[in-house]
Amino acid sequence: MNACIVGFGCIGPVHAISIKHTDCATVYAICDINKKRADKGAEEYGAKAYYDYDECLNDENIDTVHICTPHYLHFEMVKKALEAGKRVVCEKPVTIKKEEFKILLENYDVSKIFPIIQNRTNACIVKMKELISSNDYGKLKGAKGLVTWHRDEGYYNSEDWRGKKETEGGGVLINQSVHTLDLMMLFCGKAKSVEATMKNYSLKGVIEVEDTVDAFIQYENGSTGIFYATNAYADNSSAQLEIEFENARLSYIDRKLFVNGECVCEDGDGFIGKNYWGKGHANTINDFYTGKSKLSLADIKNTMDAMFAIYESAESNKPVNL
């Protein structure tokens, strides 16, 4: 398969290394409106450089496009790629608006859209799924997701699209902590209602989006979720996930999985990029090209619905029923 990476800023190169790790795909082209970035990547991978997205979509040799551009561009880019007959690997968030997500779900072949939610492939998360399906832990009571990270003025000023509702779509929720929300949804299922608040504590005058969000989630199966995420912490500490059953507590912290306090799995080393991104890109992209993973847009519906509901509740100051 010939891949084209679109957007070669921070995460585009992680996709390129991940493709290099698979036997089934080649970095055939790199497209970036920043000519220097496209040329540098193309030289490193012996790939073609494109500076215009429409031009690369006209290249019949390209089978798959990897969308690694700013958030607000994803929706149009995904649509155009599908219309050009390509498969799409899309960085989160696939869309920044609820209506856009609905349009993709209802009008396009969702099996051709592979969303990057790489933490689902972390060894501890895979183990967690395995343990939950093979043990009788009793009734699912609830989940806790906690993300305490640090993003400063320098980070937000590094690229023009960051920190703005119009172009990033939100702050710590849609960008940094959606992975942890996704894991809560993976284990607890569909949300029934959401009540949330958000604030900008540490970056007033720098960003117009939230640096902190909290939510109380009621799931259809009767369990409840507590979610808290902030970019206002002093440093990046490990995200935490806890799944609470009648007879067991499964805790994922510091890349280790504990069942009732006993460590049963570790994610291990081997990170590409920043270690707080996790090491899932290589696994996820390999699973896509080998066909091991059939993940599609439909598989992130619960997460996207919850994310949009959290924003709606925080903005309206009211609970939102899904």
Ligand X SMILES: NC(=O)c1ccc[n+]([C@@H]2O[C@H](COP(=O)([O-])OP(=O)(O)OC[C@H]3O[C@@H](n4cnc5c(N)ncnc54)[C@H](O)[C@@H]3O)[C@@H](O)[C@H]2O)c1
Site residues for ligand X per CB under 6 A: 6-12, 31-34, 37, 53, 68-71, 73, 91-92, 116, 118, 159, 175, 277
Smallest distance, ligand X to C-beta of residue 41, A: 9
127 versus 162: smaller Cβ distance to ligand X: 162
Question: Taking Cα atoms as reference points, which of 199, 206, 213, 212 lies closest to residue 164?
Answer: 206
Smallest distance, ligand X to C-beta of residue 193, A: 27
53 versus 311: smaller Cβ distance to ligand X: 53
Smallest distance, ligand X to C-beta of residue 220, A: 27
Smallest distance, ligand X to C-beta of residue 222, A: 31
Percent helix / strand / coil, the chain, rounded to 5: 40, 25, 35
For strand 191-199 and strand 113-115, is the pairing parallel, antiparallel, or unpaired? Answer: unpaired
- Angstrom CA distances, 187 to 125, 184, 214, 241, stand at 10, 5, 19, 10
Residue nearest ligand X, CB atom distance: 9
Smallest distance, ligand X to C-beta of residue 69, A: 4
11 versus 207: smaller Cβ distance to ligand X: 11
Smallest distance, ligand X to C-beta of residue 135, A: 30
Q: Is the peptide bond before 115 cis (omega within 30 degrees of 0)?
A: no
92 versus 144: smaller Cβ distance to ligand X: 92
> Is the distance from CB of 256 to CB of 249 less than 8 angstroms?
no
90 versus 320: smaller Cβ distance to ligand X: 90
- DSSP secondary structure of 168-221: H-SSTIIIIIHHHHHHHHHHH--EEEEEEEEE--S-TTT-SS-SEEEEEEEETT
86 versus 259: smaller Cβ distance to ligand X: 86
Given strand 212-219, what is the order of strands in its sheet?
Answer: 262-266, 256-259, 249-253, 240-245, 140-148, 224-230, 212-219, 191-199, 320-321
Smallest distance, ligand X to C-beta of residue 255, A: 15
114 versus 137: smaller Cβ distance to ligand X: 114
Q: What CA–CA distance (Å, rounded) separates 192 from 171?
A: 24
